[in-house]
Structure 1
Amino acid sequence: MKSEIRPSQLTELRERVLKQNYRKYLRKVHITRLRALTDATVSFDFPVTAIVGPNGGGKTTVIGAAACAYKSILPRRFFAKSGKFDNSMADWQAEYEILDRDFPQGVIQRTASFKSVRWRRDAPDRVVLVFGVSRTVPANERPELQRCASPSFSVPEINIKNLSVDTVHAVGKILGKDISSFSQMSIDEQGRVSLLAGVNGVGESYSEFHFGAGESSVIRMIAEIEQAPDYSMALIEEIENGLHPVATRKMVDYLIDVASRKKIQVIFTTHSEGALEALPDYAVWAALDGRVQQGKLDIEALRSITGNVDSRLVLYVEDDFARDWVETCLRYYGNVALDAIQVHKMNGSSTAVQVQRARMEDPSISVESFCYLDGDAAEDEDENSHIVKLPGSSPELHVFNTVLDAAEELAPKIALALHLPTSQQAEVLRISKEVAMSNRDPHLLFVQIGDRLGFIAESIARSAFLSIWAQHVPSEVESIVEKIGEFLPVSGPRAPLLS
């Protein structure tokens, strides 16, 4: 399930942040010290920001630090002190760069610090919504709703309200369910406790006690966000809790859409790769072992950054194709202990370089690492930092053209590698040449080859050309692998590569 967010919408939101076209917006938080995080700066370069990382890495700490920027959230909501058992809280502090048009200067600096057994801050006003992990607790396990679990329960009609049109529309897209007949009823005098009610396909009513936990949490979150004023902030812990992976992706699409409509700012934590799909790289931060890192990183890559790996060598590359290319080289090179090497894509050259440099500067990490950049990356090779480049201006184009240059000779092998009979080698050759002439984006080369040959999967087309390339130019395989030289884990005597 692909995101439905258009690139132009992402660009528009990014421009809005750059031009400071907000009444209220948290631009940056610098954590001097909070829990495990020290001297960590997170900039909110996009109005929807994801915080990823392993358990205990600091995700909730970042969310809590953001919440403490504003008066409406008490610090103890995230950073409570439990007597003598929390004496580590001394000198905790976070500093903020805040855009707030209620102040003449527009951008203000504020600090929240824990001094003399209490929090001290001069926080501005802003509506901040917090959705913790407890939102997915079923209704029958929530103490505040127990008064409703009675055959005699009822509320006055005036306390029952239909859900807003925007809420109904958003929930429908996320859950694929029509909730236009659903309602929300206040069950306390202050209106702080409510119960949802729905109607099934045959017109029978049912209460939230019979909702799915994920269904209930989505409806409540969206209803609250839609009711909030423009320029509010929403903080969501573990956005995927109680949701199907498809619903998680659609939830993030909704947050991007509502950020556009209502100019709200959203920060959420997640362990879900799917939750990051719609977001640009600069909208994702990783929190791990007291550090933060901007850019999309999967959990395995995060563990490698901290040195928490079982392998003897870690390699960072820019994207999926570069990862497949390097792994192909390692397989064809011979005598490589493949199970002792991890290869991680970093979704861009700048992230790959930042991670590699940070690793090299960390004396606590003993596992060696290298960074392979694409040939057209803006960053230069750096021998001291173990940063090297792959051949050619574009990895896909280099592999494709190398094979295509010898296609008359290699056509039977290409056909077999594509899971086609050799009788179709002429067709493979013809289509490959046509794609070479018409292609405008090298990243789509193998998608186009697969489609033209009868809906062959991109992964099969890519693997076919990589394997034929490795067999045809063993000297290039050697030049790529030998860049990591003495650090290459070996498993025995090496047989020579043959073309």
Structure 2
Amino acid sequence: MLDKVRGHDYGKYLFKASIVRIRGFSGEDITFDFPVTALIGPNGSGKSAVLGAAGCAYKPVKPGTFFPKSAVGDESMGGWRVEYDLIDKRLNPRQLIRRTSNFRQAKWVRGDVVDREVLFFGIERTVPAGEKTRYKALARSTYIHKLPLKQLNGEVATQVEHVLGKSVADYRVTQYGFDDTFFVGKTGHNNYSEFHFGAGESSIIRMITRIEQAPENSLILIEEIENGLHPVATRRMVEYLIEVAERKSIQAIFTTHSDYALSVLPDEAIWACIDGRLRQGRLSVEALRAVSGRVDKKLAIFVEDEFAKAWVDTILREKLAADYDQIEVHAVHGDGNAVATHRSHSTNPAVTFKSLCVIDGDSSQHEDKDAGIIRLPGTQPELTVFESIRGKLDEILAVLTVSCQRAPEAQESVRRSIEEIIRTNRDPHLLYNQLGIKIGFISEPIVRGAFLTLWVRTNQEYCQELATRVQSLIKAVSN
């Protein structure tokens, strides 16, 4: 699907939104490189603004839905503007088309706005049915319902079951009012109305029903996809969006605070809203909290990926003793992000913790120890650690074997596997996974942890230098 987007192989698709100015954003671009996009960020960071800006590219979405103007407090809306690059094969079969939404003279202006089916699911979708005024009549003893109860559509029921992990084969739906519906569930021999559904259960059935009814190439917008859902159901809902994107060429954009919602997406599908900036790439919600300046410890260390995080964590766990509890290490997806985040925190007087940046040995960023930007040794990180331990096998093979959860007598088998992997490996990021499989399906974290621990114990000079720097920063905060 990444290739399909790159090839512009869609009938209709929002490819890019350039936010010239809107709320806290100015001069920020977001590209939708995957048909399912997650927007993450702390409360108030602008996730909903980006979601709304995306929706305003199309005729069915009225800008006032996301950006109403109040007579009090909204004087700064003048000059708000978003520019779009769109795929619409009906209007131009070969090239992207450009459109603009802007707020001027106290109203929104959109020229030659493009039409596309857009479904928006806001936070109110999880309000329990019993609290919705439109269903009050159903609770009256005098109400008589004459319309039939029908089974759920087969495809809808199948997809709902995949998300909720429970059968809805006996659930029914009936028409209510002019254009509304009401559901009836069943457990064993007992029927129960939607008044007794869980909020997440009801919202999932309604969302999937509308998405399955939507035409191909529709745009789906969802606020806080995890609302009312168990974490596993949240992940399954995103899996459903990916599946329906492939099946029906739909595009989906959602906001979230859940790591479970991000777990099945590629890095290109995740955008973080941080301090008026848009940053592409995978950030855990924990890392996002640190990037936005919400750290409870005395020192935050920013690195570019999960391997660097594991490496730095291992060094400091071994060297800091009790002081280790005063630090947090965060992978922020990319050396540029790591350096920018560190510099931002270092120059922000409102930040109460210290910051340090550790870049990879092959990073294009410049090391600046005086500014708190230091470099890991070697070039490619995974390969650097692997080759270092490989070069000392005669001394540490027994410890490495046991640390990888293999019996002591498996030492020569482990040695042979290491030599074979280094000869055949084409992607250093896979070294520890490949070795784990080779020596008996040992998990990658266990193998990686064994190599990193031994690397620390055999590279004392670098590790002590890093630990000393960290301890001085912790002491500075304490003083």
TM-score band by shorter chain is 0.7 to 0.9
When residues 148 and 445 of structure 1 are mapped into structure 2, their CA distance, relative to the original with a 3 A threshold, is same
Match in the other structure for 2:456: 470
Selected match of 1:138 from 122, 128, 134 = 128
* Alignment RMSD (CA, Å): 3.1
Are the equivalent residues in 1 in contact too, given 2:342–2:357 (CA < 8 A)? Answer: no
When residues 466 and 355 of structure 1 are mapped into structure 2, their CA distance, relative to the original with a 3 A threshold, is closer
Q: Which amino acid in the other structure matches residue 170 of structure 2?
A: S
Structure 2: how far apart are the matches of 1:432 and 1:312?
A: 41
Structure 1: how far apart are the matches of 2:357 and 2:128?
A: 47
Secondary structure in structure 2 of the residue aligned to 1:38: strand
Selected match of 1:249 from 235, 260, 263 = 235
Per-residue displacement from partner, 1:10-32 (whole Å, max 9, x unpaired)?
xxx11111111112111111222
Higher mean C-alpha displacement, 223-232 vs 16-25: 16-25
Kindly indicate whether residue 269 of structure 2 is the aligned counterpart of residue 283 of structure 1. Answer: yes
Per-residue displacement from partner, 1:154-202 (whole Å, max 9, x unpaired)?
54446x543222211111111112223323222112x1x2111223333
Per-residue displacement from partner, 1:295-331 (whole Å, max 9, x unpaired)?
1112333344344546665433333332121122234
- Taking the TM superposition and a 5 Å limit, the aligned residue runs for 1:156-305 are 156-157=146-147, 160-189=149-178, 191=179, 193-202=180-189, 204-305=190-291
Selected match of 2:137 from 147, 154, 178 = 147
- Taking the TM superposition and a 5 Å limit, the aligned residue runs for 1:386-465 are 389-411=375-397, 413-414=399-400, 417=403, 424-427=407-410, 429-439=411-421, 440=425, 442-443=428-429, 445-446=431-432, 458-465=444-451
Structure 2: how far apart are the matches of 1:469 and 1:369?
A: 22
When residues 68 and 232 of structure 1 are mapped into structure 2, their CA distance, relative to the original with a 3 A threshold, is same
When residues 410 and 219 of structure 1 are mapped into structure 2, their CA distance, relative to the original with a 3 A threshold, is same
When residues 280 and 126 of structure 1 are mapped into structure 2, their CA distance, relative to the original with a 3 A threshold, is same
Q: Which amino acid in the other structure matches residue 224 of structure 1?
A: R
Secondary structure in structure 2 of the residue aligned to 1:26: strand
Percent pairwise identity = 41
Structure 1: how far apart are the matches of 2:474 and 2:221?
A: 48
Per-residue displacement from partner, 1:210-237 (whole Å, max 9, x unpaired)?
2111111111100000001111100001
Per-residue displacement from partner, 1:265-285 (whole Å, max 9, x unpaired)?
100001111111111111110
The CA deviation at 1:432 is 2.1
When residues 468 and 107 of structure 1 are mapped into structure 2, their CA distance, relative to the original with a 3 A threshold, is closer
Match in the other structure for 2:367: 383
Per-residue displacement from partner, 1:121-140 (whole Å, max 9, x unpaired)?
13221111111111111110
Are the equivalent residues in 1 in contact too, given 2:173–2:182 (CA < 8 A)? Answer: yes
Structure 2: how far apart are the matches of 1:438 and 1:207?
A: 62
Secondary structure in structure 1 of the residue aligned to 2:85: strand
Are the equivalent residues in 1 in contact too, given 2:436–2:442 (CA < 8 A)? Answer: yes
Match in the other structure for 1:365: 348
Structure 1: how far apart are the matches of 2:344 and 2:73?
A: 34
When residues 146 and 486 of structure 1 are mapped into structure 2, their CA distance, relative to the original with a 3 A threshold, is closer
Structure 1: how far apart are the matches of 2:51 and 2:412?
A: 55
Structure 1: how far apart are the matches of 2:345 and 2:374?
A: 20
Higher mean C-alpha displacement, 283-292 vs 354-363: 354-363
Are the equivalent residues in 2 in contact too, given 1:337–1:491 (CA < 8 A)? Answer: no
Structure 2: how far apart are the matches of 1:358 and 1:338?
A: 21
Secondary structure in structure 1 of the residue aligned to 2:15: strand
Structure 1: how far apart are the matches of 2:316 and 2:344?
A: 26
Structure 2: how far apart are the matches of 1:476 and 1:87?
A: 55
Q: Which amino acid in the other structure matches residue 110 of structure 1?
A: R
Selected match of 2:335 from 352, 358, 378 = 352
When residues 409 and 69 of structure 1 are mapped into structure 2, their CA distance, relative to the original with a 3 A threshold, is same
Structure 2: how far apart are the matches of 1:392 and 1:308?
A: 32
Selected match of 2:75 from 73, 87, 93 = 87
Q: Which amino acid in the other structure matches residue 63 of structure 2?
A: P
Selected match of 1:62 from 43, 46, 50 = 50
When residues 153 and 261 of structure 1 are mapped into structure 2, their CA distance, relative to the original with a 3 A threshold, is farther
Structure 2: how far apart are the matches of 1:438 and 1:138?
A: 59
Aligned length: 464
Q: TM-score, normalised by structure 2?
A: 0.86
Secondary structure in structure 2 of the residue aligned to 1:433: helix
Per-residue displacement from partner, 1:249-270 (whole Å, max 9, x unpaired)?
1111110010011111100001
Secondary structure in structure 1 of the residue aligned to 2:388: helix
Structure 1: how far apart are the matches of 2:343 and 2:475?
A: 26
Q: Which amino acid in the other structure matches residue 432 of structure 1?
A: V
Structure 1: how far apart are the matches of 2:381 and 2:312?
A: 10
The CA deviation at 1:208 is 1.0
User: Tell me, which stretches of 5 or more residues in structure 2 are unaligned?
Assistant: none
Structure 2: how far apart are the matches of 1:386 and 1:49?
A: 34
User: Tell me, which stretches of 5 or more residues in structure 1 are unaligned?
Assistant: 1-12, 493-499
Are the equivalent residues in 2 in contact too, given 1:381–1:388 (CA < 8 A)? Answer: no
